């Protein structure tokens, strides 16, 4: 698979990222041996299909996703040296660490450092290639974040840093305080979720050379063969007009509509990296076809207009 630089870092990553959000379920209570084997097969399929960039977060299945991935790293000889591993922190569930604690976001230096060290233990590695802050803490102190980043970098525990789901203004504030560049910004963007094109997020990525990563690039599967479980925020997406516009282009190109939806994202000059989250081996492999497709400007705008639900002004 093609590779590109990740922001201004020295890292070269695959044009698609494999996302480990749902590989082992949503909660440890759901896990079965069959799910564990499915997760293992999905990770190995992605690796063998050319994905060298893998995305995690400490809250994915309460840390079990990182643990499963760490087991695969031990199993597959040479894999750690060939892949780039990213993870995220900053979301704390209700009851963490005691039952009376509310759900919250936490960018305190102590939590960033402790979360990173816990992720490293679960993954079974010494250094995280990329650490991202997961959801924008309203009490975020950019100077405190900068201290945590410096501590982790100087200790050899994290190589590069990024953010996820940030307002452009908070991203700018954090970057101004940090002595290291933010190399990536992970956001929800797809044909069903266009905000990043109009709220300044992608403009900021272009200006600062942060590489955008698109989580849920197929709207939780709604732009592909269908969604098994979507977020509440995704339940009112207007999918039918998008599919109606996708299908003729997909048919003409001889690929599935999901491939075209991914190619639409990669057309943007900020070099968006879609985060593919399917656990189905055939779909993991199929997504790689998007890397080879260059949509025309006319095709891109035809899809954009269908997705926006209104003609261009």
Map out the domains of the chain as residue ranges: 3-232+269-293
* The predicted structure's pLDDT at residue 95: 87
Whether residue 62 has pLDDT greater than 90: no
pLDDT, tens digit (0-9, with 9 covering 90-100), for 86-143: 999 999 988 888 899 998 999 999 999 999 999 999 999 999 999 999 999 999 999 9
Closest CA to 171 of 130, 114, 210, 131: 210
Domain 3-232+269-293 classification at class level: alpha beta
Percent of the chain with pLDDT over 70: 99
- For range 256-269, the mean pLDDT: 98
- The predicted model scores a pTM of 0.95
Q: Among all residues, which ones are annotated catalytic?
A: 60
* The predicted structure's pLDDT at residue 9: 97
3-state secondary structure of 53: strand
Of the pLDDT bands very low, low, confident and very high (cuts 50, 70, 90), residue 235 is: confident
Whether residue 28 has pLDDT greater than 80: no
* The predicted structure's pLDDT at residue 35: 83
Whether residue 47 has pLDDT greater than 90: yes
CA angle at residue 57 from 71 to 119, to 5 degrees?
55
The pairing of strands 3-5 and 12-14 is antiparallel
Of the pLDDT bands very low, low, confident and very high (cuts 50, 70, 90), residue 236 is: confident
């Amino acid at each position: 698979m093609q590779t590109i630089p990740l922001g201004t870092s020295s890292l070269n990553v695959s044009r698609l990222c494999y996302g480990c959000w749902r590989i082992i379920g949503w909660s440890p209570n759901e896990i079965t041996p069959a799910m564990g084997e499915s997760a293992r097969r999905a990770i190995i399929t992605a690796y063998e299909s050319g994905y060298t960039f893998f995305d995690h977060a400490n809250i994915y299945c309460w840390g079990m996703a990182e643990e499963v991935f760490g087991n695969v790293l031990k199993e597959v000889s040479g894999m750690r040296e060939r892949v780039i591993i990213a993870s995220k922190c900053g979301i704390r569930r209700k009851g963490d660490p005691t039952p009376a604690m509310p759900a919250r976001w936490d960018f305190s230096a102590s939590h960033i450092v402790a979360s990173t060290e816990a992720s490293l233990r679960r993954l079974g590695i010494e250094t995280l290639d990329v650490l991202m802050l997961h959801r924008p803490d309203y009490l975020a102190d950019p100077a405190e974040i900068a201290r945590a980043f410096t501590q982790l970098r100087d200790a050899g525990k994290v190589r590069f840093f990024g953010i996820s789901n940030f307002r452009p203004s908070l991203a700018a504030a954090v970057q101004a305080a940090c002595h290291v560049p933010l190399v990536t910004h992970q956001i929800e963007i797809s044909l069903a979720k266009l905000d990043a094109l109009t709220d300044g997020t992608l403009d900021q990525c272009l200006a600062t050379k942060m590489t955008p990563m698109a989580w849920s690039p197929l709207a939780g599967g709604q732009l592909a063969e269908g969604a098994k479980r979507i977020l509440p925020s995704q339940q009112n997406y207007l999918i039918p007009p998008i599919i109606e516009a996708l299908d003729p282009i997909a048919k003409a190109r001889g690929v599935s509509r999901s491939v075209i939806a991914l190619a639409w994202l990669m057309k943007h000059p900020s070099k968006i990296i879609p985060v593919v989250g399917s656990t189905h081996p055939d779909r993991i492999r199929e997504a790689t076809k998007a890397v080879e497709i260059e949509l025309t400007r006319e095709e891109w705008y035809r899809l954009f207009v269908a997705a926006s639900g209104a003609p261009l002004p």
